[in-house]
Amino acid sequence: MSLSDQELKELKIDHELDGIGEVCPHTLNIALDGLKKASSGEIVVEVTDHSIATKTIPAAVKMNKLAEHLGTVKESGNYTIFLRKL
Amino acid sequence: MFTIEVFILAAVFGIIYGFLLQKADFCFVASVRDFVSVKDSRIGKGVLVLMATAMIGWGLALTFGLASLGQVWAVPIGLNNLIGGILFGIGMAIAGSCASGALYRSGMGYLQFWIVIAAMIAGNLLFAFIYDPWGQEAVMEPITFTENGFSLYQLGLPFMTLPLIIVGIMILIVVKKFGVSGFLQGVKNSFTDWEKNPFKQQHWDVRFVAFLLGITATIQFIALSSISVTGPETRIGGVIVSAIFGDQIVYNNLYLNNMFAAYPAVGLGPEETLVIFIVVGAFISSVLSKSFKIRFPKAKRLPSAIGGGLLMGVASRMAPGCNIANVVAGVGGLSIASVIVIIGMMIGVFLVTKYYFKMPIMLFYREKDAA
């Protein structure tokens, strides 16, 4: 499922993670740690300026059935990656 | 060799490499780390396509006489290949990028990777000043087993024989895993992953980019030289110290003196130009796709950037060569030493992933464990 930017921004966020200034693998580890703390169905978002994280995080959570990637909003050079824990 | 045309050609190659590396976010560290930790093989597949393209490219260049066996980059074989590879793998995993990755990310505005590059150059110089006076005899010579390098092309087989066999085996493995239709679908996807304007598109398919990188490297091999990053960076370091302390510091150091042996003076040549323009190419690419941003690193990450970069700089001289020289020019040239270096790099990245970052190694988990 991939939601529009507007739909993503209207979601109620349960956990917001700060990945600004981080690079791999920290951006991925922040997401994995955040998902560990979340409950099933909760929305976890990571804000990052590391562009490749928009590929690695969705791929990792999908491959390992940890979360659903709902979409990514790009604004002012930052990326907000929306995940729903499975 | 040092005509203006050659410098322009080198700059063009650099821009193409930088543009392509940025377009795929082609990170060699991620190709190993993400595969073993979270089973993400996306970039790993790109590295395999790059190796396959380089092998076919080098084989064709030699077959048609566009390049000679003497141009193939194959360095002496020894324990230094493995140790250098492992240390380089550890360094790049800690620093967060490989040698080429640091260049294209610098062009994207990551200040952290400017620091990594500076630390790598410092590491290159550190190696040079250890090598002479005592490192050569005390360390390097005892662990280097052969005087010359060895390329499998030297076996005397028709040049295309081994590339076709190796690439054929790679394709058979893919077909066995994904089926013929899955393989063909993958090829089709890699060539058709386009949005409206490719130049403004943030990411291109990594396999397609790898194919283009392999072709570009083959053309460079024929027209200019084998691709390398850390050798030219060492010369850039030599130029910097000579500007500060005078040319004699370079001439009096055996290692640095050798690095400039084919140069008319201590200065920047075509290969250094190429490396500098990789940053320019990545800058152009990231501006077009609106991915450029001055990114400030977190202060707590700076020790990793400096320490990892220093280790990469020393290890790249020991191995010798960085990720891109060994994966492209080394594998393309069927160099035995490069295969050992690459195995070492993979070991190094794995060790850091498991024991330094303590990431889950999901590659070896059963599905219920991973979930």
Q: Count up the domains in chain B and report the number.
A: 1
At B308-363, the pLDDT tens digits run 999 999 999 999 999 999 999 999 999 999 999 999 999 999 999 999 999 888 88
Cis peptide before B270 (omega within 30 of 0): no
- Domains of chain A (ranges, CATH numbers): 5-85 (3.30.110.40)
Q: CA-CA distances (angstroms) from residue B333 to B56, B150, B224? A: 10, 10, 15
Instruction: Inform me whether the pLDDT recorded for B137 exceeds 60.
Output: yes
Residue B131 to residue B252: CA distance in whole angstroms: 12
B353 CB neighbours in chain A (<8 A) are 25
Contact B295 A50 (CB under 8 A): yes
Of the candidates A28, A51, A60, the beta carbon closest to that of B25 is on A51
Q: Do A48 and A79 meet the contact criterion of CB atoms below 8 Å apart?
A: yes
At B249-262, the pLDDT tens digits run 999 999 999 999 99
At B34-44, the pLDDT tens digits run 999 988 899 99
Domain membership of residue B20 (yes or no) is: yes
Per the structure, the complete domain to which residue B294 belongs is given by 4-194+205-370
CA atoms within 13 A on the CB side of B175: 8
Q: What is the dihedral of CA B63, B65, B69, B74, to 10 degrees?
A: -70
B203 CB neighbours in chain A (<8 A) are 55
Task: Give the burial string for B59-70 (b: 16+ CB within 10 Å, else e).
Answer: bbbbeeeebeee
Count the residues in chain B. 371
Residue B20 to residue B38: CA distance in whole angstroms: 25
Domain membership of residue B333 (yes or no) is: yes
Note the pTM of the prediction, 2 decimals: 0.94
Determine the angle formed by the axes of helices B111-130 and B302-318, rounding to 10 degrees.
40
Residue A26 to residue B283: CA distance in whole angstroms: 24
CA atoms within 13 A on the CB side of B297: 22
Domain membership of residue B274 (yes or no) is: yes
Domain membership of residue B199 (yes or no) is: no
Q: Respond yes or no on whether ipTM tops 0.85.
A: yes
- Kindly report the number of other CB atoms within 10 A of residue B199's CB atom: 11
At B63-97, the pLDDT tens digits run 999 999 999 999 999 999 999 999 999 999 999 99
- Predicted local distance difference test score (pLDDT) of residue B370: 47
Which stretch of A54-68, B124-138, B239-253, B267-281 has the lowest confidence by average pLDDT? A54-68
A54 CB neighbours in chain B (<8 A) are 202
- Predicted local distance difference test score (pLDDT) of residue B149: 96
Domain membership of residue B60 (yes or no) is: yes
Chain B contact for A26 (CB, 8 A cutoff)? yes
Chain A contact for B232 (CB, 8 A cutoff)? no
